[in-house]
Chains A and B, each alone.
Chain A
Amino acid sequence: MTTRPAGELSRRGFLNTAAAAVGLTVAGQALAACGSGSGARTGGTPRRGGTLTVATGGAKGSDTLDPMLLNSIPVSYMARVIYDQLADFGNDMEYHLQMAESIESNGTGDEWTIRLKPDILFHNGKTLDADDVLFTFQRTFSLPGAVTVGKFKAFVDLDGFTKLDRRTLRMKLLRPSATFHTALASPFKIVPVGFDPRNPVGTGPFKYKSFTPNRQWVCERFADYWNADGPSQPSATPAPPGLGPKPYLDELVVNVVNDDSARINALVTGQVDAINLLQYAQIPTIERHRELKLLESRTGAWTGIYMNMRQPPFDDVRVRQALRLAIDREQALTACLSGHGVVANDLPEPFATGYPASLVRERDLDRARALLREAGQDGVEVELVTGPVSTEAVSMCTVLADNAAEIGMKVKVRQVDTATLFGPNFHHWPFSVDKWPPQGDFLTLMALTDLSDTTTLTHPGGADLAELRGLYEQAQASTDGTRRAVLTRKMYEIQYERGGWIIPFFANVENAHNVRTAGWPEQDFPGRTFGNGHFEQVYRTD
């Protein structure tokens, strides 16, 4: 015998102890409720300099400083910190020129002239010129996995460049692209000739200091930042005049804290000044602490469920429409996002030109059932493969499955990890999910999804494809903005009536920071987090 039988510890004794333990936990909770908020402090005087330490989620071991391999959220906003673009979409998704003085096309949209602003310096002291832009294009095409290649491949002819002068580059495209300037505004970071990602040099507000994948980025203020006095993004606490040129901070330290709870703990205990990718359930915690502030913005980033329009049963438009009519968008918004988002109507790019705000889809179960019956697919069974491409990707599939059951369609949700989801079977899933950041232009997005050159997965079937492609090419050949908007709207309508995407909502992006920092942009429609990575306008108040 090693121990005495448990009878020695009487039942009453045990129950008393257990009750005491429960009581202790409850008391702890109560103490916790009292304790929070007691340390409230308000922001002090705005000041220059200092280090901003933030904790980021969403990092991976494959993260890189190469601005052409934007494969995670931190990589994507850090690229904005170190590098810059010819043109850009602001935090409100409005297009504007950035390092380019002008980007103009000829009358047919197949020849574009880019003129750079003068005296823009790289971190190594070199002045930006046309050769750097040309080099950036060449590197995009030669680097495996470069993200922008999909946008340029159909148009850019590497032999079609002419350098007109030191700051001016003319490019003859393979075919007309009236929206080429917007493709330049979606992440296309300009790097200097001979760029080496191990020693990254850009024209952004901060210089690279050190980087370890999945651990930490450290950047320091670039004193010769070209846009130091340029306009800032709208903020609830804009920097007061007299704080000098941007960036206001001396140093930026981005720590990787991928665990959601550990990240908010680091903020609550004051180890970091700001965090991103706050979970919706954590918002009340931020609200309880008076020294913490929520930074929330609606976005145009979306997670969509796609139906393979070239395979049964989704090759029948009635089945697709039935599902789109069956999903309860309000329920999805509440269940998946706790209401922190905006209902969508299966149409992406809500901020783009030509977006038809009048196309609203109401839930209609009778019509959905009738469509399914007409298609002869009553009681059909389908498998929906989903994975954590976004926090809401799995739960929205569950909502769809529940809703589909109401119209007599059996949707079996199969959950896999992202490596499996995007693994070798990626091009064979008939019914799955994908996530996209806003591109700023519906035509650009269509070229990457429904009219993609690399995959036919989300291509419409039969005549729809030809019609969509025809409209796309006409629109790309229209330098007249009004006519292009009309054609874009037609494409949106096809997408609405016959498309293969189910987009129930646009999720808000959630960040939080302490009151010792200010200047954070209010809007972040691109959804890159931390106010779209505009750290140059953030300042300390302690």
Chain B
Amino acid sequence: MQHDAVIDYERQMGMENFHPSLVRGPVGAAADPAGEGRSPAPEPKLTARGVNFYYGSKQALRGVNIGFSPRRVTAIIGPSGCGKSTFIRLLNRMQELVPETRMEGEILLDGLDIMSSACDPSELRKRVGMVFQKPNPFPKTIYENVAYGPEVNGVKGRNLIEEKVVDSLKKAALWGEVKDRLKDSALGLSGGQQQRLCIARCLAVEPEVILFDEPCASLDPISTGKVEELILELKKDYTIVIVTHNMQQAARVSDRTAFFLMGELVEEGDTERIFKAPRDGRTEDYITGRFG
């Protein structure tokens, strides 16, 4: 039965029974020929195994195991301080910029341990892009903002860079609004436009995974709608992880949902299933609004 298959898959994904085959090997279109959201997801692109994280002596994450599949949106939900932002920032090693922190466990990108010395953080961040909670465009022009990524990553040639800028702005559904003012300051854009610019900036580097850390936290409902639409569109090409404290948003944009509580991954599974039939009492309490 379809339902059982999903549950089996979740058992595998969710907790201890990690099989190495799940994380090794290239992830290609062949892994998900039908490309359907409901079919068992393709092999995860990005996998966390037994992740603990400490701020000084305070433990912020406890034994997190989770996999993120290509062409899927995984939402991470949970109350403030549950470790969801900390966790997502580990996936591109942004968290190591915070002094006096320590991580245990493994995070694998296509089987490569991103914490190993073989993995250069700059190279990793090129492959795993991030959109932040508050729009953070550079105090430069709109064009320069998007061109920055390709430039620092060694793309040469003005035409090639321009092509990437235009392409990224189109993908981020911002092109129509800014095509006549590319030389204007990015800080003149509205909050929602700035956030889409940050998404375009991220796309220009051509990442494989995009991490969204509460991307709509500072946006109005209309801008939020646009960003959500965009996320659904980007799903076709990228592995997407989105942290949100907004459960409706998780329900709208994600295929899978992970619920964090006090540094623990309580439950992870198909979004519909998580919202309709949570297995853990704590998940149910949170979803029904008993706390958080």
Q: Do A and B bind each other?
A: no
Interface residues of A (CB under 8 A from B): none
